[in-house]
Amino acid sequence: MSEPSDGRPLTYAGAGVSIDAQDRALAEIKRLARATFTPGVLSEVGSFGGLFALEPDNPSGTVLVASADGVGTKLRVAQMAGVHDTVGEDLVNHCVNDILVEGARPLFFLDYLATGRLEPGVAARVVEGIARACRGKGCALLGGETAEMPGFYPPGEYDLAGFIVGACRRDRLLRREEVCPGDALVALPSTGLHTNGYSLARKIFFEVLGLRPDSELPGLGRTVAEVLLAVHRSYLAAVSPLLDGGLVRSAAHITGGGIPDNLLRALSAGVAAEIFLDSWDEPPLFRLIREKGRVPEDDMRRTFNLGVGIVLVVAEEHTGEVLERLVPHGPGWVIGRTVQGSGVHFLEHRG
């Protein structure tokens, strides 16, 4: 990360993350994984959560939904700022959302915390955040691994990964196959970057703008650390009642790949999504990143959530009820609709 800032536009690939190389590796990984599949496996690798039927022949049996995630380089911001008790919340909430969009509610969580030399206070703060996020969600922190790996991580640095297992009755799983043209796309707001785009954001804030974690962000009235460490929101409380009510057809957690890549994973074949760009005010943080980094629009859309944390695909006739039920959790809005076709398309305004 030593490239000088020379006024060139910044892209995610330029910040060191190659989405294409990731895609190629992912294809090979999928092939290898597929060869291990047993009759219980219902999902392809690359879904938001992996689906495993405990009773493969029972159409209403329990399906376990599992996901593994990391926090990415948001960790670096936390470590620069000395704030260790929120990254665990980020991690749990990320995992919770990943299985929620499959229709599952959490059962338990395990963490992996790796560091060079264990600073017990730091490890406890990290786990404190994990435990705080687990409580109240019916999610037990069932175990984990705290690995001390001398010489592997520099002093003060650590990596953190999480694994969640949830459950869903098989006939209550969300099924992208049920998405039809004419469905509404209902968005719920994100709280910030959540856990994606930090390599690029760090480059812009700390290298291009030369800010420090405690610098006040121009025009936002909050420090860089406060804005960048805003906790990844859990949508469990908001979305769970909608799942109970059978009001959601499919859903996308907006993480790496942004709205285009993630929403695509929630659509059936032959169905496209139209996103109305005039349906929401992008939070100032994203405008700042776009302007100061001169980030091309396509990179913005594939790197950041742009203020959208989750998108629900809802039958047109249920849209009113869904929006109403979301109000107590912070309102959602209709961000677009499905049409015949393929892909995710951004429209300046509703056609």
Could you give the angle at the alpha carbon of 70 between the alpha carbons of 69 and 74, nearest 5°?
140
CA distance 202 to 195: 12
Write the interaction track for its own copies spanning residues 89-128; mark x where CB under 8 A is met and - where it is not: ------------------xx-xxx-x-xxx-x--xx--xx
- Point out which residues pair with 253 in neighbouring strands: 310
Token digits for 44?
Answer: 């392809």
Cβ contact 187:117 at 8 Å: no
Nearer to its own copies, 62 or 342 (CB): 62
If you search the block for the tokens 């349906």, which residue do you land on? 279
Applying CB under 8 A, among 5, 56, 83, 146 the residue interacting with its own copies is 146
CA distance 160 to 144: 11
Determine the interface stretch with its own copies among 67-75, 181-189, 286-294, 341-349 (rule: CB under 8 A).
67-75
Applying CB under 8 A, among 145, 171, 214, 321 the residue interacting with its own copies is 145
Site for its own copies in 196-215 (CB under 8 A): 199
Nearer to its own copies, 152 or 270 (CB): 152
Applying CB under 8 A, among 10, 11, 63, 72 the residue interacting with its own copies is 72
Note whether 180 binds its own copies by CB under 8 A. no
Nearer to its own copies, 127 or 185 (CB): 127
Could you give the angle at the alpha carbon of 294 between the alpha carbons of 8 and 81, nearest 5°?
100
Note whether 50 binds its own copies by CB under 8 A. yes
Strand 333-340, strand 271-276: pairing: antiparallel
Closest CA to 22 of 196, 169, 235, 164: 196
Note whether 64 binds its own copies by CB under 8 A. yes
Residues 6+ apart with CB under 8 A from 223: 213, 214, 215, 216, 217
Note whether 62 binds its own copies by CB under 8 A. yes
The nearest distance, CB 31 to its own copies, in angstroms, is 9
CA distance 346 to 274: 6
Number of residues that bind its own copies (CB under 8 A): 80
Write the interaction track for its own copies spanning residues 248-267; mark x where CB under 8 A is met and - where it is not: --------------------
The nearest distance, CB 319 to its own copies, in angstroms, is 32
The nearest distance, CB 99 to its own copies, in angstroms, is 11
Which secondary structure element, helix H or strand E, spans residue 335, and what is its range? Answer: strand 333-340
Site for its own copies in 154-173 (CB under 8 A): 157, 159, 161, 163, 165, 167
Note whether 147 binds its own copies by CB under 8 A. yes
Q: How many separate helices (H) and strands (E) can be counted in the chain? A: 11, 11
Site for its own copies in 7-36 (CB under 8 A): 15-18, 21-22, 24-26, 28-29, 32-33, 35-36
Which secondary structure element, helix H or strand E, spans residue 233, and what is its range? Answer: none
CA distance 58 to 60: 5
CA distance 345 to 113: 39
Could you give the angle at the alpha carbon of 350 between the alpha carbons of 349 and 351, nearest 5°?
105
The nearest distance, CB 268 to its own copies, in angstroms, is 21
If you search the block for the tokens 């390599």, which residue do you land on? 199
Nearer to its own copies, 144 or 284 (CB): 144
Determine the interface stretch with its own copies among 150-158, 240-248, 310-318, 338-346 (rule: CB under 8 A).
150-158
Nearer to its own copies, 68 or 339 (CB): 68
Applying CB under 8 A, among 9, 54, 182, 331 the residue interacting with its own copies is 54
